[in-house]
Amino acid sequence: MNYEIDNLDRQILRLLMQDVTRAYTDIAKELNVSGGTIHVRMKKLTEMGVVTGSQLLINPSAIGFDICAFIGVYLEKGSAYKEAQELMRQIPEIVELHYTTGSYSMFVKLICRDTKHLREVLNEKMQAIPGVSRTETLISLEESISRQISIV
């Protein structure tokens, strides 16, 4: 596709990143363009893969999930990644999974109700996956920054 992101696209993205529920007509008024222009631009940004969707964000602790943990996963061998990744996708507590370089083969972010729930997920689900040789757990005490990449 021969479409490059311009200043108007960046402005649209910045406004929607602040409030994804904001109406395109409101954005159009603020940017002095037509509502149709916003629709066309968003369609192109989606087709290009710049915008991959929108989501509702839930505060986990507000619904009883008080533990955020990061798990370093050691695989017996690199070829175990694909199957391990597919099996980890079935564990609902896992909210992020990264295939990494460095000490760990995989790095996982998961959210649990409490330490007992965390222990169950680790012992009964993650460590039971074929190819996982061991894990290291880091519990987050506080999330200080959570944001999208800045659009300049």
- The Cα–Cα gap between 35 and 37 comes to 5
| pLDDT at res. 1 | 54
The answer to whether the beta carbons of residues 51 and 42 sit under 8 Å apart is: yes
> Is-above-0.85 flag for pTM?
no
Is-contact 136 2, C-beta < 8 A?
no
Give the model confidence (pLDDT) of 11-59 as tens digits.
Answer: 999 999 989 999 999 999 999 999 999 999 999 999 999 999 888 889 9
Task: Supply 89's token pair.
Answer: 């996708």
Render pLDDT for 80-92 as a digit per residue (tens, 0 to 9).
999 999 999 999 9
What pLDDT score was predicted for residue 2?
60
